C-alpha cells in the first residue's frame, strides 16, 4: 500500500491517505463480447483514500467517464438501468417528491433534477414546473416521451448558466444516486448555486459511508462511485460553496443511503434529526483514519474466508455458478480471484448481458432458463447478498432439489434455507395397533395403562357406529382428551389446529381395519370423521372425562368451515 499522502480532490490539501487497494480492476459494467475476449481490457488500480483534512472518502485513481459511458453506433450514450422498472424504487421516489413538495414548494416553484433518468421522480411532481438533466440518451428519450422536459447532457456550471438564462431560478434541485458519480464536484456545485433561488434547497441521496463501514459492503466501491459521503465530509464540501446541510434522513435503499437537505448558509434552521446523525458520526469515529484502516482489515479477512469457502467446495468437486451479473459481482470476482474455473457461468435475467462475459474474469453469462435446466449445480453465488431472502423465495425449486446459495456479506457463508414449519399438528399422538391373528380369529390391544400415549386419566369408554356418508364432528373440547380407534370398517379422521397467528394446520388420518391406529386428540384441536366406502364404521372412543350433560365441553363447527376436506380427491 502506498503510504505517501496525496492531494485531496475536494479540499486540495495533501492529506489524502490510502487505506485500501483492491488491485487491478476492470470497469465494473464493461461486459465483454466473445469476439473481444482476446483484447486487453481497460483496468486501473482500484484504491480508496480518506482525507484527514476535509474527511472525504474518495477513489484515488478516478476512471474517466468515457471508459464506462460508451456511445453506441449512433453516438448516443446509453444507460442500462431504467429506474422505473422497479415498483419499489418508483414508490421510494414518489415519497421523496411528496416530501419536497409539501415542505418547500410554493405554487410557482420550479424543480430541477440532475441525472433524472427516465423521469421516475419528476413525474411525481404533478403541480409544478420541472426540468430534468440526463446524460444518457436512451433514458432521456423515455422521459421526453412521458412529456417530462429533459436536457440530454451532463449537469455543469456552463449548462446551469444556459438554463438560468432560459428558465430562471429553481426552488429545488434534486439528485438521487448521482452526486457520488460526479468527478468535478466543484463545477457541479457551482451549477447548483447558480440556479437555486433565495429559499432554494439542494437535496441529494447517495450511499452512506457508515452503512458501508458497518456492513463491510466493499462491493459498493467501483469505478462509477467516486465519492463515499458522510454528513461531515459533505458539510466541509458545501462550506466551500457557501452552502450548509440543514436536514438529513437515513434511507434503506441501495444497501443504506442518506438523503441530505442543503441550502445557502443560514436559510433554514438545522433539525434535531441532523444533530443526532452528526453525533452518531462523531461517536462512531467516522472522522478518524483508524476506522478506515480497520475496515480494510475486515475486508481482507472477508476475502480470505470467502476464498477458503469456495475453493474448498470446489476441491470437493462441487459445481458452483454465479447468480446475477451486476457491478457488485465484478468487484468480488476480481478482488477474490473467482474466475470461470470456480464459477462456471453466471445466470442473469437481463437479455443484453446474456452471451457476454464478465469484466476481468470473463465468466460467461447465461439466461436464467439455462441455470434452471442445469440440475448439476450445487451452489449459486449470490452477489446481490442484500436481496438474498427474496431471491431464495423465487428459487425454491433450486433449493428444494438441494441447491444452496453462497453469499459473501455480511460474512461468507452457505445460506441454509429457513426450516419450513412442520405441517403436522404436534399435539396429535398416534399408537399403531398390532393385530394378532391365528386360525381361531384375531385380536388387537387398543390401550394399556402403561402406554406412553395414555396420560392415566380414565373417564368413560363408548362405542359408536357411523353410517356411510355421515360426517361426525367437527368439534373441539376445551378440557377433554379423546382416544379414538375404528374397529370395523375404515374412516377418514380430520384434525384441525388454528394457530395463534391465525394460520391453520389440517391433518388427515385413515383409521380402521386397513390402518389400525389409536389417535389421541388433546383439548383445543378440532376433529371429526367420516366412514370410507359404503360400510358403516364402528368406532371405539375412550375419553379422559365422564360426559356431563350440564357441561358438554363441546364446541361445534360446520364440517365444511375449512372447505371440503372430506370428499376423496379423484385421480
Q: Which stretch binds Zn ion (CB under 5 A): 8-16, 68-76, 87-95, 201-209?
A: 8-16
CA distance 414 to 407: 7
Residue 466 binds Zn ion, judged by CB under 5 A? no
Closer of 53 and 215 to Zn ion (Cβ): 53
Q: Does 234 bind Zn ion (CB under 5 A)?
A: no
What percent of the residues of the chain are helix, what percent strand, and what percent coil, each to the nearest 5?
A: 30, 30, 40
Q: Is 539 in the site for Zn ion (CB under 5 A)?
A: no
SS3 state of residue 186: helix
Note whether 8 binds Zn ion by CB under 5 A: yes
Sole window of 54-62, 120-128, 259-267, 473-481 interacting with Zn ion (rule: CB under 5 A): 54-62
Q: What is the CA radius of gyration of the chain?
A: 34
Task: Pick the piece of the chain touching Zn ion (CB under 5 A) from 9-17, 258-266, 528-536, 560-568.
Answer: 9-17
53 burial level (CB within 10 Å; 0-12, 13-18, 19+): middle
Cell of residue 198, nine digits: 433565495
Residue 183, C-alpha cell as written in the block? 468527478
CB nearer to Zn ion: give 152 or 233: 233
Distance of CA 498 to the CA centre of its chain: 31
Q: Segment contacting Zn ion (CB under 5 A): 36-44, 48-56, 90-98, 550-558?
A: 48-56
| Residue 11 binds Zn ion (CB under 5 A) | yes
Which cell numbers in the block locate residue 419?
Answer: 426450516
Q: Quick check: 415 binds Zn ion (CB under 5 A)? A: no
Q: Is 235 helix (H, G, I), strand (E, B) or coil?
A: helix
By beta-carbon proximity to Zn ion, the closer residue of 6 and 557 is 6
CB nearer to Zn ion: give 289 or 388. 289
Residue 413 exposure: Cα atoms within 13 Å on the Cβ side: 7
Nearer to Zn ion, 54 or 176 (CB): 54
Size of site (CB under 5 A) for Zn ion: 6
Which of 41, 59, 194, 39 is closest to 114 using CA atoms?
A: 194
Q: Choose the stretch contacting Zn ion; rule: CB under 5 A; options: 49-57, 244-252, 394-402, 476-484.
A: 49-57
Q: How far is the CB of 56 from Zn ion (least distance, A)?
A: 5
Stretch that binds Zn ion, among 43-51, 284-292, 330-338, 501-509 (CB under 5 A): 43-51
Answer yes or no whether residue 319 interacts with Zn ion by CB under 5 A. no
In terms of CB distance, is 11 or 121 closer to Zn ion? Answer: 11
Taking CB under 5 A as the rule, does residue 5 contact Zn ion? no
In the complex with Zn ion, the residue whose CB is nearer, 54 or 332, is 54
Q: Is 53 in the site for Zn ion (CB under 5 A)?
A: yes
CA pair distance 109, 271, nearest whole angstrom = 23
Name the minimum Å distance from CB 236 to Zn ion. Answer: 7
378, 318 contact by CB (below 8 A): yes
Angle at 22 between CA 18 and CA 27, to 5 degrees: 115
Q: What stretches of 411-481 show up as alpha helix (H) in DSSP?
A: none
When asked if residue 10 is in the footprint of Zn ion (CB under 5 A), the reply is yes
* CA–CA separation, 143 and 138 (whole Å): 9
C-beta of 5 vs 318, nearer to Zn ion? 5
Segment lying near Zn ion (by CB under 5 A), choices 50-58, 170-178, 191-199, 364-372? 50-58
For position 48 contacting Zn ion by CB under 5 A, the verdict is: no
Query: Candidates 45-53, 71-79, 299-307, 338-346 — which segment interacts with Zn ion by CB under 5 A?
Result: 45-53
How many CB atoms neighbour CB 65 within 10 A?
Answer: 16
| Phi-psi category of residue 557: left, alpha or beta, with phi > 0 → left and psi -120 to 50 → alpha | beta
**Is residue 231 within the footprint of Zn ion (CB under 5 A)?**
no
The residue from 25, 51, 121, 466 that contacts Zn ion (CB under 5 A) is 51
Strand, helix or coil at 408?
Answer: coil
CB of 51 vs Zn ion, minimal distance in Å: 3
| Closer to Zn ion by Cβ: residue 11 or 380 | 11
Nearer to Zn ion, 241 or 361 (CB): 241
Beta strands in 386-469 (DSSP E): 404-407, 413-415, 429-432, 435-438, 441-444, 460-466
Q: Which helix (H) or strand (E) holds 57?
A: strand 57-59
| Min dist. Cβ of residue 262 to Zn ion (A) | 18
Q: Applying CB under 5 A, does 270 fall inside the site for Zn ion?
A: no
> Between residues 51 and 356, which has the closer beta carbon with respect to Zn ion?
51
Contacts with 339 (C-beta within 8 Å, 6 or more apart), sequence order: 333, 361, 362, 363
- The answer to whether the bond into 410 is cis (omega within 30° of 0) is yes
Checking DSSP bridges between strand 43-51 and strand 57-59, what pairing results, if any? Answer: antiparallel
Q: How does strand 555-556 pair with strand 472-476?
A: antiparallel
* Shortest distance, position 180 Cβ to Zn ion, whole Å: 16
54 is an interface residue for Zn ion by CB under 5 A: yes
CB of 237 to Zn ion, least distance (A): 9
Q: Which residues form the interface with Zn ion (CB under 5 A)?
A: 8, 10-11, 51, 53-54
Amino acid at each position: 500500500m502506498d503510504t505517501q499522502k496525496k492531494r485531496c480532490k475536494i479540499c486540495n490539501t495533501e492529506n489524502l491517505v490510502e487505506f485500501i487497494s483492491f488491485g487491478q480492476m476492470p470497469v465494473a459494467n464493461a461486459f465483454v463480447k466473445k469476439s473481444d475476449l482476446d483484447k486487453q481490457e481497460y483496468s486501473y488500480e482500484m484504491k480508496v483514500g480518506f482525507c484527514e483534512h476535509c474527511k472525504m472518502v474518495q477513489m484515488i485513481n478516478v476512471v474517466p467517464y468515457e471508459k464506462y459511458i460508451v456511445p453506441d453506433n449512433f453516438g448516443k450514450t446509453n444507460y442500462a438501468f431504467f429506474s422505473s422498472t422497479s415498483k419499489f424504487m418508483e414508490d421510494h421516489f414518489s415519497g421523496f417528491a411528496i416530501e419536497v413538495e409539501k415542505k418547500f414548494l410554493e405554487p410557482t416553484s420550479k424543480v430541477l433534477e440532475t441525472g433524472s433518468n427516465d423521469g421516475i421522480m419528476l413525474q411525481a411532481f404533478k403541480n409544478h414546473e420541472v426540468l430534468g438533466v440526463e446524460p444518457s440518451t436512451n433514458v432521456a428519450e423515455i422521459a421526453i416521451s412521458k412529456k417530462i422536459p429533459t436536457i440530454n447532457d451532463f449537469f455543469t456550471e456552463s449548462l446551469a448558466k444556459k438554463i438560468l438564462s432560459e428558465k430562471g431560478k429553481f426552488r429545488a434541485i434534486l439528485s438521487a444516486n448521482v452526486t457520488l458519480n460526479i468527478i468535478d464536484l466543484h463545477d457541479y456545485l457551482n451549477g447548483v448555486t447558480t440556479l437555486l433561488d433565495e429559499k432554494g434547497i439542494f437535496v441529494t441521496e447517495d450511499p452512506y459511508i457508515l452503512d458501508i463501514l458497518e456492513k463491510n459492503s466493499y462491493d459498493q466501491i467501483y469505478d462509477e462511485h467516486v465519492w463515499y459521503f458522510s454528513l461531515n465530509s459533505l458539510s466541509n464540501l458545501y462550506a466551500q460553496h457557501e452552502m450548509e446541510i440543514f436536514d438529513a434522513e437515513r434511507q434503506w435503499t441501495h444497501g443504506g443511503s442518506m438523503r441530505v437537505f442543503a441550502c445557502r448558509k443560514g436559510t433554514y434552521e438545522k433539525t434535531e434529526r441532523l444533530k443526532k446523525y452528526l453525533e452518531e458520526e462523531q461517536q462512531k469515529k467516522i472522522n478518524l483514519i483508524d476506522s478506515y484502516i480497520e475496515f480494510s482489515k475486515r475486508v481482507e479477512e472477508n476475502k480470505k474466508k470467502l476464498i477458503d469457502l469456495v475453493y474448498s467446495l470446489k476441491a470437493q468437486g462441487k459445481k458452483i455458478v454465479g447468480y446475477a451479473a451486476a457491478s457488485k459481482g465484478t468487484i468480488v470476482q476480481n478482488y477474490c480471484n473467482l474466475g470461470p474455473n470456480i464459477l462456471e457461468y453466471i445466470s442473469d435475467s437481463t437479455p443484453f448481458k446474456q452471451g457476454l462475459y464478465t469484466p476481468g474474469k470473463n465468466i460467461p453469462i447465461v439466461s436464467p432458463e439455462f441455470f434452471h435446466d442445469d440440475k448439476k449445480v450445487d451452489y449459486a453465488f449470490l452477489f446481490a447478498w442484500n436481496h438474498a431472502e427474496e431471491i431464495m423465495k423465487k428459487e425454491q425449486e433450486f433449493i428444494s432439489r438441494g441447491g444452496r446459495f453462497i453469499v459473501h456479506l455480511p460474512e461468507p457463508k452457505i445460506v441454509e434455507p429457513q426450516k419450513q414449519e412442520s405441517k403436522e399438528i404436534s399435539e396429535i399422538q398416534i399408537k399403531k395397533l398390532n393385530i394378532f391373528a391365528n386360525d381361531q380369529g384375531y385380536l388387537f390391544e387398543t390401550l394399556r395403562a402403561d402406554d406412553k400415549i395414555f396420560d392415566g386419566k380414565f373417564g368413560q369408554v363408548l362405542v359408536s357406529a357411523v353410517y356411510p356418508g355421515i360426517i361426525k364432528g367437527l368439534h373441539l373440547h376445551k378440557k377433554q382428551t379423546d382416544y379414538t380407534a375404528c374397529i370395523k370398517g375404515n374412516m377418514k379422521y380430520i384434525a384441525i389446529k388454528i394457530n395463534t397467528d391465525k394460520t391453520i394446520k389440517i391433518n388427515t388420518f385413515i383409521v380402521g381395519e386397513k390402518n389400525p391406529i389409536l389417535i389421541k386428540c388433546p383439548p383445543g384441536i378440532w376433529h371429526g370423521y367420516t366412514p370410507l366406502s359404503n360400510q358403516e364404521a364402528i368406532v371405539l372412543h375412550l375419553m379422559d372425562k365422564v360426559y356431563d350433560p350440564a357441561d358438554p365441553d363441546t364446541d361445534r363447527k360446520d364440517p365444511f368451515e375449512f372447505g371440503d376436506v372430506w370428499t376423496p380427491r379423484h385421480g
